[in-house]
Amino acid sequence: MNQVVFKDLGIKDYKEAWDFQNELFQGIIDIKLANRGRDIEQETPNYFLFTEHPPVYTLGKSGDLSNLLLNQQQLEQKGISFFKSNRGGDITFHGPQQIVGYPILNLESFKPDIRWYMRSLEEVIIRTIAHYGLKGVRSEGETGVWLDVGTPFARKICALGVRTSRWVTMHGFALNVNTNLGYFDHIIPCGIRGKAVTSIEAELNRKIPLEEVKSLILENFEAVFEAELTREVKK
């Protein structure tokens, strides 16, 4: 069973969390490079971070800036930051009462298969929201976890966007729990027109304890990834 070090960063500025991710990500890659040609290899660590970000729009490396519907002045007036990220995917929103998960894993210790990794992240969320009676599903050709796919009411509850290098991952998922969905009105979420965004709160019409959802995610992460979480990483 793979060991994964877990840390909840709390509310953290997007750039600060990105820099910390990158530090851990690069550390794993450095170990893998140093292991080349060694008779006894140094074990690579794995990490899983939780955070909430102050309001921010992030654009993936292949994203279309026209999917951001506000100019710089309007962003400043609304108190929303904007970053171009090196993850996959298009534009999305991060903000309070949304659980952002950043697994930084050496997939060679799990399964070196990006498709398997993405489907596994989705499975963690599908199992988590099932606890609340919500049937999360995948949408063909669109990452993330959705509700009512194949109907006019299809809506995304969790976005995914990752980066990988040498089978090491960073970035991850954003699950809308009690998120203010009004922020999504100012973007074309994930570059997908004609489909809505939702949250657990919006579906159940009640606030959901964030710590409760976090605990469910951790439990399901351990099950899906056949991992054991420990709390040791420092920040």
Residues with a catalytic annotation lie at 190
Please answer whether residues 175 and 158 qualify as being in contact, where contact means their C-beta atoms are separated by less than 8 angstroms.
yes
CA separation, residue 25 to residues 21, 140, 153 (Å): 6, 29, 38
Q: How is residue 128 annotated by DSSP?
A: H
The Cα 58–Cα 86 span in angstroms is 10
Please answer whether residues 167 and 116 qualify as being in contact, where contact means their C-beta atoms are separated by less than 8 angstroms.
no
Q: How is residue 45 annotated by DSSP?
A: P
Please answer whether residues 8 and 231 qualify as being in contact, where contact means their C-beta atoms are separated by less than 8 angstroms.
no
User: How is 46-106 classified by DSSP, letter by letter?
Assistant: -EEEEEE-SSEEEE-TT--GGGB-S-HHHHHHHT-EEEE-SSSSSEEEE-TTEEEEEEE-B
Minimal CA–CA distance to 172: which of 64, 89, 68? 89
Please answer whether residues 167 and 208 qualify as being in contact, where contact means their C-beta atoms are separated by less than 8 angstroms.
no
